[in-house]
Every structure is written in structure tokens, then in C-alpha cells.
């Protein structure tokens, strides 16, 4: 956990005092309110640990200069963030004015996350500035809870020195994998993560197979849809990468996403399907044995001729328990502005600290030539990945249902009967959903 607060430079304050108020008001950027109505307020911000948000924090003296609002950030590792968010919701005391969370945690906590649609309409902000999947990830039951400031499409990363032509389909992955086992037996072809880790990570690649097969997680009446013939076959094929074709790293049963990334960075696996943010770490000499020349990326492989990918986000929202909601909304407007989005992916040093970040969430930034030039064109690949993408179901019951599915996937990958496990999971999930009143 890490906190930061600071006093603004006296010179900057003096400059602001000398500026005519009318001229300053006309120049207020980012849809901020004129006249510093919340000057003197201090906002407490809860955020996940990431270089991207370090870059935003290190720029926030601009926000204080514009508004007179001070900021204090608390950074939490991802593995502890869900527990912290849940504690905030239970305490209901407004300790944090602005909170950062994983999108699938939004529905269970929606009752204490401030709805911002009316404020967006007032200040001329539209969720259309984000890809559709990112926008949906910050909404619940037709209302917007926040802005998706950290959001990820999936890409396939691969060793360019071992794989001259990247895979276009999962059949290609199997073919390449079998060839690699002969030519480079010391390097596992594919790093996957089948572990039932409590964060449902083993569903992240599975759902690509499910959607591409024409299946879905739920039917229109909220009954489980993963037991259709198409869905079951897709699940079997996902599991078969490990159990039948043997192209996965032998440790994939125990791997969570971080373990799979480490395997790739240590040169022990040749391919990994994972979020785009991982790119810089794959060739960072402090974390990886690989050089930039060895690391390639491409879109997610197709399954049965179709590609539909999973997108994820970590929105920032204003707590409805906050006593500073109006000031917190001003902060969200500044934090989410498109100029910041672009700068934070291009500038490699902020306030004397090195920041390496390729994550952007605005459509304009994804397509921006300067952003792409600074990041080897990964935003173009991400934009293509987002052309047909979706998010996990946004219902309060999803964490419990997702845990049931995650357990079934882990057991199947360990050699269990995939079909029976998924059928059993559907029966368990039906009981959960019926108890919650979502299905009759």
C-alpha cells in the first residue's frame, strides 16, 4: 500500500492568482467547472498498482492548479484490491472518494457507485469515446458507473525467433506447437493458465472458444447456456490443448496468468494469449530474458473460422458514500481526458520517473499514429482485436457463477470429464440464479 500527497509549487499558485478570472474561466479545459468551486477539498483515491496510474498520479498537480483540489492516492496490489473494495462497500463510510475496481466487481457494488449519466450529459461527455466493450464494462443495467481508464484487449504474443509466421487459428497453434516440441523440446509451445485462482482467470481464453462457436454464458432467460452442443465442443477443444494435443506448458494446470507470463519471459514458453499491457514487460531486461526483437504479437487466433475476444477493464468511479462527490466528479473528468490518455502512452518520463505504459482506452488514442509509433503499433493490433469483443456478464451473481465455472474448467484440465463437469456446473449455477430470483 502506498500513499502520496503534496503541496503545489508557490510559483504556479502565484501565476494563477495573477491571471484574470474571466480569461481563466474561458480557458478551463477538460469540461472542468469555472471558478474553482471546490478549492481546498482533498480527495482520497484508491487505485491498483500499475505504471499507467503512476503516470496519472505524477501529472495530477495540473488538476490541483486548475481546481484547487488536492489529491491523495492509495495504491493496492491487484491481488488485494477486491477485498479492499468489498470492505469499502461494507463500511459505507466514504473513506475513499474515488475507487478503482475490476469491471466484473461493479454489479455487486453498484449500489454504492455513483451514477454519472446526468453529469456526463451536463458536461458534454459521451461514452462513445471508448470502444463498445470498454464502455459496457463501466455500465450496469443501462447506467454508467464510471470511466474505463485501464482496459485491455487480448493479443497472442509469440517468439519471433522460433515462430516465423504467427498463428491465425487455434489449429495453427496446435500445428506450430507440435512442430516446436520436435525442434525445440526445451521450450513449451504455449503458456496457458488453467488454475482455479479465485479471480476466474481460466475463463479468459475459454470464452474466446465459447463465443466463436456461437455459444454464450447465459441464455436470454439467464439459464446457463454453456451446455449446448456447440458450447460443450468448444470447451472440450479448449481443454484439449492441454489434455489431448499436449502443446501447453506442463505447468499450465498450476499457472495463473502471472505464472504464464513469467514462463514466457523466462524463455520457457513460446506463445501466450494475454492482455496487451504485458508487452513492455516481455522485453524489459529487469523482468525478462527476451529481447524486443524476439517478441512478436498478433490478434487472437480464430476458432472454427470465427474470432470473438474477451475485453476487460478497471474503471474509476465516485463513491456514493463520499462527502466530496462534486469535487470527485471534477477529478474524474480530468483523469479521463483524451489528451492525458495519449500523453501517458507516449511520454516515457514523468516528474523524473520512468514510465513505460502502452495502455490507452479512447478510440482516438488507439488509432493515433503518434501513440502507435511510440508503442510498435500495438494499439492498431488492439483496435483490431476489439472489432468483435465482449465482456463477462454484468450481473451481481456473476462472481459466484464464475467461480463454479472456473472450478469446472480446472478439474477438466486435470483430466476430468469435461462434458459432465460443465453440465454439473450448470446445475449448480441454476441453483444460485434461482435463489437470487434471476430465473424461475
Which residues, including other chains, have CB under 8 Å from residue 38's CB and lie 6 or more apart?
Answer: 67, 68, 69, 324, 326, 327, 330
**What's the chain's Rg over C-alpha atoms?**
23
256 within domain boundaries: yes
332 & 203 share domain:
no
CA distances from 62 to 8, 14, 19 (A): 9, 14, 16
| pLDDT band with cut points at 50, 70 and 90 for residue 440 | confident
Q: What is the mean pLDDT of residues 9-28?
A: 40
Q: Which of 9-13, 104-108, 146-150 has the lowest mean pLDDT?
A: 9-13
- The parent domain of residue 294 ranges over 154-310+397-435
- Residues with Cβ within 8 Å of 263's Cβ and at least 6 positions away in sequence, in order, are 188, 191, 249, 251, 255, 269, 272
Nearest CA to 347 out of 381, 375, 307, 319 is that of: 375
Helix axes 418-435, 229-243, angle to 10 degrees: 130
What is the average per-residue pLDDT within 280-303?
95
Instruction: Kindly tell me if the per-residue pLDDT of 408 is higher than 60.
Output: yes
Under the banding of pLDDT at 50, 70 and 90, the label for residue 12 is very low
Question: What dihedral do alpha carbons 394, 214, 194, 436 form, nearest 10°?
Answer: 30
pTM for this entry: 0.89
CA 155: distance to chain centroid? 13
pLDDT digits (tens, 9 = 90+) for 243-288: 999 999 999 999 999 999 999 999 999 999 999 999 999 999 988 9
Give pLDDT, residue 197. Answer: 85
pLDDT value of residue 27: 73
Sign of the torsion formed by the C-alpha atoms of 408, 196, 311 and 294: negative
CATH of the domain at 159: 3.40.190.10
Same domain? For 40 and 117 the reply is yes
The percentage of the chain sitting over the pLDDT mark of 70, rounded to a whole number, equals 94
The pLDDT of residue 239 is above 90: yes
Residue 296 banded pLDDT, cuts 50, 70, 90 = very high
Residues 413 and 288 in one domain: yes
Domain contains 391: no
Q: Which three cell numbers stand for residue 401?
A: 457463477
In angstroms, the CA 164 to CA 297 distance is 12
3-class SS at 12?
helix
Asked if residue 304 and residue 205 are part of one domain, the reply reads yes
- Please tell me the total count of domains within the chain: 2
- pLDDT value for 6: 35
Q: Report residue 93 as a C-alpha cell.
A: 463510510
**Whether 184 and 301 share a structural domain:** yes
| Percent helix, strand and coil across the chain, each to the nearest 5 | 45, 15, 35
pLDDT, tens digit, 9 for 90 and up, residues 83-131: 999 999 999 999 999 999 999 999 999 999 999 999 999 999 999 999 9
Q: Is residue 395 a contact partner of residue 108, using CB atoms and an 8 Å limit?
A: no
Same domain, yes or no: 91 and 171: no
172: number of Cβ within 10 Å: 16
Q: What is the DSSP string of 97-165?
A: SEEE--GGGHHHHGGGB---HHHHHHHT--GGGS-HHHHHHTEETTEE--EEEEEE-EEEEEETTT-SS
Read off the pLDDT of residues 19-62 as tens digits, 9 standing for 90 and up. Answer: 333 333 447 899 999 999 999 999 999 999 999 999 999 999 99
Amino acid at each position: 500500500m502506498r500513499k502520496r500527497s503534496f503541496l503545489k509549487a508557490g510559483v504556479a499558485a502565484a501565476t494563477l492568482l495573477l491571471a484574470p478570472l474571466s480569461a481563466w474561466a474561458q480557458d478551463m479545459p477538460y469540461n472542468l467547472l469555472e471558478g474553482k468551486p471546490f478549492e481546498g477539498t482533498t480527495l482520497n483515491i484508491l487505485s491498483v498498482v500499475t505504471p499507467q496510474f503512476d503516470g496519472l498520479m505524477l501529472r495530477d498537480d495540473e488538476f490541483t492548479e486548475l481546481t484547487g483540489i488536492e489529491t491523495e492516492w492509495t495504491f493496492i496490489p491487484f491481488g488485494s484490491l477486491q477485498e479492499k473494495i468489498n470492505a469499502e462497500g461494507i463500511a459505507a463510510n466514504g473513506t475513499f472518494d474515488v475507487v478503482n475496481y475490476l469491471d466484473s466487481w461493479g454489479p455487486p457494488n453498484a449500489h454504492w457507485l455513483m451514477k454519472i449519466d446526468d453529469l456526463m450529459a451536463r458536461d458534454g461527455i459521451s461514452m462513445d469515446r471508448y470502444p463498445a466493450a470498454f464502455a459496457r464494462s463501466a455500465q450496469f443495467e443501462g447506467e454508467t458507473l464510471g470511466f474505463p481508464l485501464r482496459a485491455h484487449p487480448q493479443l497472442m504474443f509469440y517468439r519471433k525467433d522460433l515462430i516465423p509466421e504467427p498463428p491465425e487459428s487455434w489449429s495453427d497453434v496446435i500445428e506450430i506447437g507440435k512442430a516446436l516440441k520436435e525442434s525445440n523440446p526445451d521450450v513449451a509451445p504455449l503458456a496457458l493458465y488453467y488454475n482455479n485462482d479465485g479471480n476466474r482467470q481460466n475463463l479468459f481464453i475459454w470464452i474466446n472458444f465459447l463465443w466463436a462457436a456461437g455459444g454464450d454464458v447465459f441464455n436470454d432467460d439467464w439459464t446457463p447456456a454453456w451446455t449446448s452442443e456447440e458450447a460443450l465442443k468448444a470447451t472440450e477443444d479448449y481443454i484439449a490443448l492441454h489434455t489431448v494435443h499436449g502443446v501447453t506448458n506442463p505447468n499450465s494446470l498450476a499457472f495463473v496468468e502471472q505464472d504464464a507470463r513469467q514462463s514466457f519471459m523466462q524463455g520457457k514458453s513460446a506463445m501466450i494469449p494475454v492482455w496487451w499491457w504485458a508487452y513492455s514487460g516481455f522485453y524489459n531486461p529487469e523482468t525478462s530474458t527476451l529481447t524486443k526483437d524476439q517478441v512478436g504479437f498478433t490478434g487472437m487466433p480464430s476458432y472454427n473460422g470465427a474470432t470473438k475476444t474477451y475485453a476487460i477493464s478497471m474503471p474509476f468511479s465516485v463513491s456514493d458514500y463520499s462527502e466530496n462527490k462534486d469535487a470527485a466528479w471534477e477529478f474524474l473528468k480530468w483523469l479521463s481526458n483524451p489528451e492525458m490518455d495519449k500523453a501517458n502512452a507516449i511520454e516515457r518520463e514523468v516528474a523524473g520517473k520512468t514510465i513505460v505504459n502502452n495502455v490507452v482506452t479512447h478510440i482516438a488514442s488507439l488509432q493515433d499514429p503518434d501513440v502507435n509509433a511510440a508503442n510498435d503499433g500495438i494499439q492498431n493490433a488492439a483496435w483490431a482485436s476489439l472489432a468483435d469483443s465482449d465482456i463477462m456478464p454484468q450481473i451481481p451473481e456473476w462472481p459466484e457463477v464464475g467461480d463454479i465455472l472456473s472450478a469446472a474448467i480446472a478439474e477438466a484440465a486435470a483430466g476430468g470429464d469435461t462434458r459432465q463437469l460443465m453440465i454439473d456446473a450448470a446445475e449448480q449455477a441454476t441453483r444460485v440464479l434461482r435463489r437470487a430470483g434471476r430465473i424461475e
